[in-house]
Amino acid sequence: MRIYLDANAGAPLRPEARAAMLDVLDGPAANPASAHREGVRARGILEDARRTVAGALGARPAEILFTSGATEANNLALRGTLAAAGPARGLVVGAIEHASVLETAHGLARDGVAVRVVPVDAAGRMAPDDVAAACDARTALVSIGVANGEVGVIAPVAEIARAVRPRGVPVHSDAAQAVGRIPVDVHALGADLVSLSSHKLGGPAGVGALWVRPGTPLRALATGGPQERGHRAGTEPVAAIAGFAAAAAAATAEESRVGPRLAALRDRLWAGLRARVPDVLLHGPADGPRLPNTLNVGFPGCAGESLLVLLDLAGVAVSLGSACAAGSPEPSHVLRAMGLGPEAARGGLRLSLGPQSTTADVDAVIDLLPGLVAQVRRAAA
């Protein structure tokens, strides 16, 4: 039986999500915009899901826009806000944001947007004062994610929002890796736009959402219909959205119980590797605010790609960083931003636990990795 330690790339489908999807798929076909009985049923399922997802964030249903995932939500937040801001505009982002934020920022820069990137320290932490200092009269949006999916560091988004509020700058935060793992309340967060993803929660891939604070200027990217309050045209995938909502409800309901258990497993994994693997390095914060399920480690003299392949052959699924960067020859931009050299940044191994992870899984990896590291180091010598 395989051991799955790649929950940050995609969590296994929850039974609640599967059941909710099948209930829709086994029912009558209908477009939720249709006025007949079947359409009204589909619309009811869609709006029930909207209420559930809103509840997971402490939001109101009318503030939730469904998207194809957090990547689209991030694009809509950045491009839609900047488009609504007019020609004299600027954007501030963090150096360790997900590629869907950073690549979007780079694209906006090519279109003439003034983009500033805020650095982080060696643990991936960011100072709110640095974010505020990066803002100027042109800044139309700040985008800082709640939690980094590679190293697990949690950003001080609430403090950042307070620091930039006197300038009247809205804040967007990618919460895809945070919701269901740590408490996320949009009002406590202080942000104006918040993105989330279904498949990080154990829902289906291909669906996500963007929370938009009322009054936040946002221009639609996809046009052609009135769906999602005119912000995102296209017929909503009702079955996927129902599965997303079921997963969000299950994940947030168990968060206070599962989070401490995963944190204990993460610490057990790190303690075991530190005791048994010479020179193992921890990437990211050793304490303080961090995701309970995420551990990123490096083994000097050991290629990360080789370890990943050997672990896979041994029945263990891990990753080298964000799944959206998989296959890229470039070193992790997150680890590079934290000060690691190119070789070390290619060797960061991310082990991300999920609700299904057990002590036996962790102990098996602790037993397996020392020999694999020694094998790769011998081959490289």
Among candidate residues 95, 308, 314, 324, the one labeled active-site is: 324
Assess whether pLDDT exceeds 80 at residue 88.
no
The reply to whether 302 belongs to the active site is no
Assess whether pLDDT exceeds 80 at residue 325.
no
Mean pLDDT score, 108-119: 96
What stretches of the chain adopt beta strand conformation (E)? 3-4, 64-67, 90-94, 114-118, 139-143, 171-174, 193-197, 208-212, 281-283, 294-298, 316-317, 349-352
Domain residue spans of the chain = 3-10+254-380, 15-249
Position 380 scores a pLDDT of 79
Backbone angles phi, psi at 164, to 5 degrees: -100, -10
- What pLDDT digit, counting tens, does each position of 19-64 carry? 999 999 999 989 999 999 999 999 999 999 999 999 999 999 999 9
Pairing of strands 64-67, 294-298: unpaired
Fold of 15-249: Aspartate Aminotransferase; domain 2 (3.40.640)
Position 87 scores a pLDDT of 80
CA distance 324 to 340: 20
- What pLDDT digit, counting tens, does each position of 115-168 carry? 999 999 999 999 999 999 999 999 999 999 999 999 999 999 999 999 999 999
- Cβ neighbours of 272 (radius 10 Å): 17
What stretches of 100-207 adopt beta strand conformation (E)? 114-118, 139-143, 171-174, 193-197
Spacing of C-alpha 353 from chain mean position: 14
Assess whether pLDDT exceeds 70 at residue 328.
no
The CATH number of 3-10+254-380 is which of 1.20.1300.10, 3.90.1150.10, 3.90.1640.10, 3.40.50.300? 3.90.1150.10
